[in-house]
Chains A and B, each alone.
Chain A
Amino acid sequence: MGGREALERAFRELVEVLGEDRVSRRLEVMFSYSRNWNPCTKEFAALPDIVVLPKSTKEVSEVVKIAYKYKIPIIPRGGGTSMSGGSLARGGILVDTKLMDKILEVDKENYVVRVQAGIPILKLNEELRKYGLWFPYDVESKAVATVGSVIALRSDGTFNIRYGKIENHVCSITVVTGTGEIVELGHRKTLISSSGYHLHWLFISSEGTLGIITEVVLRVVPIPPHRDIAGFFFPSFNNGVKALVDMLRRGVLPESANLQCKNRLKFYAHAYKAKYGIEPKVPEWSEAVLFLSFAGDGDVVDFMINKSKKIAKEHGGEPIDDREVLEMWWTSKHVAIEPEETRFSWEKPFIPFKQKWPDSQREKRFGAAGVSVPVGKIQEMYKKYLEYASKHGLQVLGMNVYFQHPNSTHVSISFAVWVGDSEDEVKRFYEYVKDMAKTAVELGGSMSAYYGDGEVLAGLNRYEHGRALDYMLKIKQIFDPAGIMNPGKKFGESRWVK
């Protein structure tokens, strides 16, 4: 049995488990789940056959058991903002996790919380604030990106130079494997263990190919008392990096750090341009802009900012005096959608009716190759970026380097271009992504820094991983013997990159 008949039976069984209200195969419902954030043509629609809305680990397990029985693909989905098509379906059962959005335990004494994996990060922080706590994993899509999805993608976060990537936050997880079995992985309420294999780490950037993450124990931190920001123009990226290395060496510890090119600054300053009719002023001699934020007691923050200015100057940097430019960067990175009660008083609110972000996306849209290279190779990678963008006829939008590792300069880089939605332009974009991916690996980095492999880079995995890919496939076999968990992601043939 297979095809339509299997789907028909599965549908009936899913309705028995979840009820009619939480299972759909209506075509309009499928259309509403047909896109992720990655560039595609106007007509593109990746349609699942069925969408389900489980509310608990047990229900997810029941759903996967049905899929396993009939060998139907399962596509887990959080916020649907993947930049690599990680939750795009090619038929199958799409599991929307957003009704699994409960906080199960706030353990204030131990600074950990247990949550269902479908809770969006913004929502989690809104609740945690009542306890004076904060989950500092601040992804830009936090309004809809779920805890499960940032684990499944190992996404970037604004505050990661202080708090680290997601592995620094996940104590343990509950997963449903590809057979429907429920397993707890990791170490209950602690991040620290040298016992056994740390199988919960396997699920970090697993993109739903091993199973569905349903519950998570996260470490959280107390909300810092104060925050402020600083920014500097530098003659080159290398100068900016050296200044940051020196700051860390001398005990200046930022909570966020971005190094970007002039073009990227203009992109973030969209609202500045809308307000004043001009771009923010950047000195002719400057190639790079470094933005930092600091958190702690007011006097500590002031001291750090003053010290960072001194160190920046020693490396050829010049502080940005225009507070509005600094705040616009910050609004775009952190508080763009934060309601009044969840930000510091100086932090600018998103301005309704004015500063609305898709407005900058009308003609051509944002598309990025998100790679990682060793910090000494940024300058070289930047040159390649300009070269490849030109080779593929794409307009440069700008580069942003996100410092993602605690107190160090290991980076994730977004090399963005403007992409239209014609078939030809989309094709050229993915050729550009492929060139960038290969070069990043050649320079000692990784082809994907924050959006997994998804459907975009799936076909290039041998290039990055070599023989290790075979071990990965064996691991997948253990968790997902029928190969139903998010097929086509990570290991399959890419829809776009050939």
Chain B
Amino acid sequence: MKNLQDYLENLYTCARTQCGFCVYECPVRKVLGFETYSSRGRMHVARALAQGLLEPCKEIAELYYKCTLCGYCEAVCALENTNIFRAVRKFLVSKNVIPKEHLAVRDSILTADNPYAKDRRLKYFKTLPVRKSKTVLYLGCTIPISRRQIADALKYLMEKVCPEIGYLGEEEYCCGLILYESGFEKEFIEQAKKNIESFKKNGVEKILTVCPGCYIALKERYAEYFDIDYEVYHITEYFYELVNSGKLNLPKIGGEVVYHDPCHLTRHGKVIEEPRALLEWLGIDIKEAPVYNKYYARCCGGSILMFYPELASEIGVMRLSELLSTEADTIVSACEICEIALDKAAVKKGEFIEVVDIVELLAKALK
């Protein structure tokens, strides 16, 4: 992770370009109003911090930690906006100006190996069959703790459809992405080391993730610090390949859904067409959120749900409204955190709509 000073030229370029492509649609600005909360606003403040014109303080920390890092700004800008905001967070950590919620989550990961301060054993208790393989499924923390239905679907798929997929059980550790995103670089590197050593010890060559956050962590963030000798695929990429190469036949289950692109998978991971292809093969009619889909998909607020639940749910409601406008009766996504956020948004908005993970649909079809 670079330092704030490394981005000075980018910050000057933004200040002098001032094009504002990133301002209006920023989900956080839409809720909080001030341009300060948009990417351009944060770029100006980052410049002032880097130039020593502003001193770090609690309010400035909130400004950066409230960013969902959805990267909508990066669909229209070349200035590595979210990496700059990560660098600001790292700078804030170095100055010890950190919101208490983020400190609590850091401590939870370091002591309980998950961000939710839950007993670590919850992650492995009756989830997936632990077995060795060169190809393993990386379950992550959120699915076993808060989205058990996905774990059930995965278990079925591993037991009945994909016997080649293994699972490390207790030898899988939290990916630590939240540490990275929050600017706790040192702690992130330690967390990454634990996983990489475990992958080595267990002879892992290929990792399949379900959570797009874990996907980015294992595939891209670890590679910033270590020479990694394993491949990482999102579960949708893996199933796409199975079907595309004729190794798996998907029965048609029909239906009509709207697909919500998770930011980490779509804009950061660039996995866009594979989930759609799987849905099509399942005989499902895909509705797209008007205008804001694929690269331009908007954030659901999920990444800040545990830190700023009110703000996150306002963002979630905006996204939900776009998805509901398609009149589909089911929302499908490929990220458990998005699904939790959209479920909460539906409750807040007083709407009933089913939110499912694509893995659940695959399991349903193959039963």
Contacts and interface: CB of A to CB of B under 8 A. Distances in A.
Interface string A18-39: 0001101011110111111101
Given A31-B45, A341-B290, A352-B295, A53 B34 contact: yes
B16 A28 contact: no
Contacts of A122: 24
A358 B14 contact: yes
Given A27-B54, A42-B12, A80 B17 contact: no
Nearest to A122: B24
A287 interface: no
Given A31-B45, A32-B45, A361-B13, A96 B34 contact: yes
Given A32-B41, A80-B18, A358-B17, A96 B51 contact: no
Contact of A37 (B17, B33, B54, B267): B17
Contacts of B53: 31, 43, 45
A356 interface: yes
Given A123-B24, A339-B292, A342-B291, A28 B63 contact: yes
B16 A39 contact: yes
8 contacts: A21-B33, A28-B36, A37-B19, A80-B35, A126-B291, A144-B20, A339-B296, A357-B17
A79 B41 contact: no
B20 A143 contact: yes
Contacts of B78: 356-359
B12 A421 contact: yes
B77 A365 contact: no
Contact of B13 (A96, A143, A365): A365
B74 to A, nearest CB: 8
Nearest to A22: B33
Contacts of B295: 352
Given A45-B53, A144-B24, A352-B75, A33 B35 contact: yes
Contact of B33 (A31, A33, A53): A53
A141 interface: yes
Nearest to B57: A28
Interface of B: 9, 12-21, 23-25, 32-36, 40-42, 44-45, 48, 51, 53-54, 59-60, 63, 74-79, 267, 270, 290-292, 294-296
Nearest to A146: B24
A188 B54 CA distance: 48
Contacts of B15: 35, 42
B76 A356 contact: yes
A32 B53 CA distance: 13
A358 B40 CA distance: 13
Nearest to B42: A32
B21 A29 contact: no
A366 B24 CA distance: 23
A36 B40 CA distance: 11
Nearest to B44: A32
Contacts of B60: 28
3 closest A-B pairs by beta carbon, nearest first, are A356-B78, A144-B20, A32-B41
A358 B19 contact: yes
Given A32-B45, A39-B16, A45-B53, A362 B9 contact: yes
A98 B35 contact: yes
A81 B34 contact: no
A79 B13 contact: no
A36 B18 contact: yes
Nearest to A55: B33
A143 B77 CA distance: 13
Contacts of B42: 32
Interface in A30-81: 31-37, 39-40, 42-43, 45, 51, 53, 79-81
A28 B48 contact: yes
Among A80, A96, A352, which residue has the most Cβ atoms of chain B within 10 A? A352
Contacts of A40: 16
A272 interface: no
Contacts of A365: 13, 16-17
Contacts of B296: 339-340
Given A33-B41, A37-B19, A80-B23, 7 more contacts: A28-B48, A32-B41, A144-B20, A340-B296, A357-B17, A358-B77, A421-B16
A120 interface: yes
Given A350-B76, A358-B77, A81 B19 contact: yes
B291 A28 contact: no
Given A28-B48, A32-B36, A337 B18 contact: no
Contacts of A34: 44
Contacts of A350: 76
A199 interface: no
Contacts of B40: 32, 80
A99 B35 contact: no
Nearest to B59: A26
B17 A361 contact: yes
Contact of B77 (A24, A35, A99, A356): A356
Contacts of A342: 291
Contacts of B17: 37, 357-358, 361, 365-366
